[in-house]
Amino acid sequence: MQRYILSRIVQSLLILLGVLFIVFFMLQLTGDPVSLMVSRNASPEQMEMLREEMGFNRPILIQFGDFIGGALVGDFGMSLRHRQPAMELILERLPATVELAATALLIALLIGIPLGLLSGSNPGSFWDTLARGAGLVGQTIPNFWLALILIVVFSVELGWFPTFGRRTWDVFGMELPTKSVILPAFSLGLFTTGQLVRFTRSAVLEIKNEDYVRTAYSKGLKDNQIYLRHILRNASIPLISIVGVQFGYLLSGSIYIETIFSWPGIGNLLAEAIGNRDFALVQAIAFFASLVVVTLNLLTDIAYGLADPRIRYGD
């Protein structure tokens, strides 16, 4: 197990290095980065000045070395627009994105797993039909479309939720979520919900036929004991990887959902940075998102190993 964790850590670091490489050279591939940053009628002198200021006139390897060196300490340079370090901007927006992602995941778990369990345990039943429908809809409906519908119905018509923005409830310096997160989180978690329903359902259907489930029945256990203790417990191991990967995806920020709801998170920041051709910020966000995904995948793999005694006590 230790060796496994170690090799996964090394692997993750290599991936991140690769990401840095891509993030850096993507900008170079565009030819002259400065020409992308300035307005079309800028004078050559202005461009030269900017080139000087950004260090683009130095040899490329030196620039890359600088970039890596900076990245290792979280320094991706200044945002052109905000005149503020890029990383600082990201960290400012992080709480909003975490709030949104965590709520989305929570909703997905609370809906997806029970529904998947109900449907897998009674295939062909009303619950099964419902769950299969929900799974399909969740995975095929575009989340921004659902977001708009939800806004029209629940915010505009019924007035239950704000139409946009994030409101928090400050208690002793902590920013606690309010109902403003519900609609964006539901829309964002839609795909994950669908995936969890479908995955839980098929895992339950498969595990139901395992020999050890028959053994559990032969002991005279009750159905709910068998489903929770034996079937769900075994299904939870592969579920861990889905949940981990999905959380990484949710956390790296959603441009659509955050923009539609004017949610002040990282996705929103990215949309803005792209619009402003704020390259330092785009690079920083791209790297940050990869960092989140890679870290979560690593943690997922470790959790997976810990949850499965065959791996935990294996070599």
Partner 1 sequence: MSRILTVKNLVTRFYTFDGVVHALNGVSFHLDHGETLAIVGESGSGKSVTMMSLLHLLPMPPARIEEGEAVFEDDDGPIDLLKLSKPERRRVRGGKIGYIFQDALSALNPVMTVGRQVRESIMEHLSLDQKAARERTIQLLEHVGIPGAKSRYGNYPHQFSGGMRQRVMIAVAIACDPKIVIADEPTTALDVTVQAQIIELTKRIQDELGISVIWITHDLGVVAGIADRVLVMYAGSAVEISPVDRLYEHPQHPYTEGLLAALPRVGAKRGKRLASIKGSPPDLQEPPRHCQFAWRCPYNFDRCWASAPPLFEVGEGHYTKCYYDMDQERPR
User: Contact positions toward partner 1, by CB under 8 A?
Assistant: 209-212, 214-222, 225, 229-230, 233-234, 237, 307-310, 313-314
Beta bridge partners of 168: 177
Q: Minimal CA–CA distance to 227: which of 200, 258, 191?
A: 200
Q: Which is nearer to partner 1, 140 or 225 (CB)?
A: 225
Q: How far is the CB of 310 from partner 1 (least distance, A)?
A: 5
Q: How far is the CB of 224 from partner 1 (least distance, A)?
A: 12
Whole-number Å distance between alpha carbons of 88 and 84: 7
Whole-number Å distance between alpha carbons of 115 and 128: 8
Q: How far is the CB of 225 from partner 1 (least distance, A)?
A: 8
Burial of 87 (0-12, 13-18, 19+ CB in 10 A): buried
Beta bridge partners of 177: 168
Tokens of 105: 């995941």
Tokens of 190: 């839609």
Q: How far is the CB of 294 from partner 1 (least distance, A)?
A: 27
Q: How far is the CB of 235 from partner 1 (least distance, A)?
A: 10
Q: Which is nearer to partner 1, 167 or 233 (CB)?
A: 233
Q: Which is nearer to partner 1, 103 or 234 (CB)?
A: 234
β-pairing, 168-171 vs 78-79, is unpaired
Q: How far is the CB of 110 from partner 1 (least distance, A)?
A: 23
Q: Which is nearer to partner 1, 28 or 215 (CB)?
A: 215
Residue type, 139: Q
Tokens of 195: 């995936």
Q: Which is nearer to partner 1, 130 or 213 (CB)?
A: 213
β-pairing, 84-85 vs 78-79, is antiparallel
Q: Which is nearer to partner 1, 52 or 223 (CB)?
A: 223
Q: How far is the CB of 302 from partner 1 (least distance, A)?
A: 17
Q: Is residue 267 within 8 Å of residue 101, measured between CB atoms? A: no
Q: How far is the CB of 192 from partner 1 (least distance, A)?
A: 24
Q: Which is nearer to partner 1, 208 or 277 (CB)?
A: 208
Q: Minimal CA–CA distance to 296: which of 235, 238, 249?
A: 249
Q: Which is nearer to partner 1, 101 or 113 (CB)?
A: 113
